[in-house]
Amino acid sequence: MAFEQLVFRYDRQVLSIAAKYTNNHDDAKDIYQEVFLRVYKSLKNFESRSEFSTWLFRITTNVCITYHTNKQKRTHYSLDNEWENNEGETMSFSDVIEGGDSTDQQAINSEIAEHIHEAVNTLSPQQKMVFNLRHYHGYKLKEISTMMNCTEGTVKKYLFTAVRRLRDQLKDIKE
């Protein structure tokens, strides 16, 4: 019963982190299941030296990074791949770019989104995780360092390198 309450309390956050990291709803579900399976198996070993959420998010980041290294890189990403935003709403890039724009503008936006998607996926697993946790989930550097079990300086280096690489890769994109 207590485990069910933990799952209910944190399931959206874990799924959101996984979905943003993978950009694939099915992969995110796989990660979600793996995270809670590991939590269930390791719950008896949890020591209250840190908050449960910190421990859980550390497991989540580790599973995401491991999943990435074990999965072959995708060559095509659909703009219809879904993720869950911080408010719990399911979104896709096609949802974000739809609106009152002309068809030409939607095509341009779609192309830009695809370039951004591809650029983010060229980052190392650690850089991608730090970038996503910081910019899509709003975590502070100190929180990320705790989740990833590394120093704040290491997190800053990952983030700096990720942003620099993204700028270099995306500098030729014009609206």
**What is the per-residue pLDDT across 15-63, written as a single tens digit (0 to 9) for each?**
999 988 888 888 899 999 999 988 888 888 887 777 888 889 989 998 9
> If you average pLDDT over residues 128-152, what whole number do you get?
89
Does the global pTM surpass 0.75? no
User: Residues of 81-98 as b/e, b for ≥16 C-beta within 10 angstroms?
Assistant: bbbbeeeeeeebbbeebe
> If you average pLDDT over residues 157-169, what whole number do you get?
91
Q: How far apart are CA 31 and CA 27, in angstroms?
A: 6
Q: What is the DSSP letter of 44?
A: G
Nearest to 79, CA basis, from 109, 121, 103, 124:
109
pLDDT for residue 87: 63
- So what CATH class is 2-73+80-170? mainly alpha
Q: What is the DSSP letter of 90?
A: E
Q: How far apart are CA 144 and CA 115, in angstroms?
A: 26
| Tokens matching residue 71 | 């999965």
Question: Do the Cβ atoms of 13 and 87 come closer than 8 Å?
Answer: no
pLDDT for residue 107: 59
For residue 38, the Cα-to-chain-centroid distance in whole angstroms is: 19
Tell me the per-residue pLDDT of 56-78, one tens digit each, with 9 for 90 and over: 998 999 898 888 766 644 444 45
pLDDT for residue 137: 84
Question: Do the Cβ atoms of 55 and 42 come closer than 8 Å?
Answer: no
